[in-house]
Amino acid sequence: MAATDIALLTGLIFAAAAIYSAVGHAGASGYIAAMALFGVSPATMKPTALTLNILVATLATYRWNRAGLVAGRPLAPLLTASIPAAFIGGAIQLPGVWYRLLIGIVLMAAAFRLFASPRGASAGCAEAAAVGWPAGLVTGASVGLLSGLTGTGGGIFLTPMLLLFGWAGARQASGITAPFILVNSIAGLAGNLLSLRGLPAELPYYMIAALLGAFVGVNMGIKWMSPIALQRVLAAVLCVAALKFILV
């Protein structure tokens, strides 16, 4: 890849990390979309996106936890089912144009719902989030499998569900999603360790860009944005992810 292309891709990774991390996400969908624009091979995209996801989600989890918004109780059932599901999904190479189209439509519908009717401010602590074990196990398994299959951490699927089902407010949802993404990205990458051979030589540049972007984005999400604004940013993120699944 030419030096100009590497610089442009690095800039896009920074932007994706900043925007996604503002809502507790790690940006895998954005990284994949950016890499697709520059003709990066699919075999390289998935492990690269997951590696960047782990880096960004680690910082995001630390910062959301410092803000008192990481809740262990709702994470327990979600992670119990999602970890093995993400590992299995990471080991599967799915063709499926129709599958990608379906995921894109679902994400677009969730984006429209969040943008048109965002929930009001929820200033309560993270423990206000309530996810029962039966529902949490089903949700965790579904999102974990999708995250492994798609090479994402699952945040684009989990956060809308937390909000739409009333399990958490906007900031609480971000505090739950960040550690969920971290654990599932590790499980997804572990499910296909051989894919690490496809990591690009330019990865250190991408990692620095993602880390700087995450630092900016997480601080925006915690300190400066209202819950309504967070949900509308999330809606924009979901639209980008949906277009990635449909068009890339």
What's the pLDDT score for residue 80? 95
Separation between Cα atoms, residue 132 and residue 22, nearest integer Å: 27
209 sits in which H/E element: helix 203-219
Separation between Cα atoms, residue 89 and residue 59, nearest integer Å: 25
Per the CB < 8 A criterion, the answer to whether 48 and 200 are in contact is: yes
Per the CB < 8 A criterion, the answer to whether 160 and 23 are in contact is: no
Instruction: Choose among 61, 2, 62, 56: nearest CA to 31.
Output: 56
Residues in the chain: 248
pTM: 0.84
What's the pLDDT score for residue 53? 94
The torsion angles phi and psi of 44, rounded to 5 degrees, stand at -90, -35
* 10-residue stretch averages of pLDDT, the chain, 248 residues long: 93 93 88 85 84 95 91 90 89 69 76 70 46 91 86 85 85 90 89 77 96 94 84 84 77
Separation between Cα atoms, residue 58 and residue 63, nearest integer Å: 9
Would residue 68 be called left, alpha or beta, if left means φ above 0 and alpha means ψ between -120 and 50 degrees? left
Going by C-beta distance under 8 Å and a sequence separation of 6 or more, which residues neighbour residue 147?
A: 82, 86, 89, 153, 154, 157, 181, 184, 185, 188
Which of helix, strand or coil describes residue 159? helix
Separation between Cα atoms, residue 164 and residue 243, nearest integer Å: 21
| CB crowding 43-59: b at 16 or more within 10 Å, else e | ebbbbbbbbbbbbbbbb
Per the CB < 8 A criterion, the answer to whether 115 and 55 are in contact is: no
